[in-house]
Amino acid sequence: MKILITLGATREFFDPVRYISNPSSGKMGIAIANAARERNWEVEIVAANCSLPPPAGAKIFPVTTGAEMLNVAQKRFPRCDIFVAVAAVCDFRPKHFEPQKRKKDGNNLVVELVPTTDILKTLAAQKTSQQTVVGFAAETQDVEAYALKKLAEKNLDLIAANRVGYGNDGAFGSDDNAVVLLGANGFRKAFPLAPKTEIARGLIGEIAKFHAAKTGAVPPANS
């Protein structure tokens, strides 16, 4: 089994030293990679600005921006059986990049932001009947409602939804997480608060069952 995972937090630069990003540490993605390696799956990781060590035997492709992540993931996607998009990708980037550091002059600074390419939606549109695509929905409110909307709009097979926030209000940077895995057919499985390593094993188990049923490798699971 070949799994491709995106993880970490992308950065979009205003100038050579300033950027917008988010607090994602990459811990959930690395935990999923470890859980996949425990099953002896072939693991490839596209990691954005993540300092955590990958599991032994995994291939890792470091990137910085969303454009770089898309470029690498698109090249690796056709050969994977399962794609899990855990990365917290910036939804916007500065429209203009200043080649030199912008100096503070005491005036307000207004920066125009433009949307970045939706990596998950782009790759999900290319999936075959033998591939399973899993997204993550990191939300601050109405978690399951927003996740189900993303599941449909992005043509995903499954989506893992979790609440995030700054400090102690969410999963970013934490060793623990609570996740709900949702499917387009009404499937729902909740994973209560637990170490991300345990959550990852549970997610990989459910993803493996879904993929086997979808591709006809084994009869569909009853649970």
Active site residues: 22
Q: How far apart are CA 134 and CA 132, in angstroms?
A: 7
Please name the residue that has the structure tokens 């601050």: 140
Cβ-proximal residues to 145 (8 Å cutoff; 6+ apart), any chain: none
- 29 Cα distance to chain centroid: 7
Burial 10-40 (b: 16+ CB within 10 A, else e): bbbbbeeeebbbbebbbbbbbbbbbbbbeee
Is-contact 24 172, C-beta < 8 A?
yes
* First vs last C-alpha separation in the chain: 21
Per DSSP, helices labelled H in the chain are: 27-38, 66-76, 119-124, 143-153, 196-215
Query: Maximum distance among all alpha carbons in the chain?
Result: 66
Tokens standing for 173? 């940077």
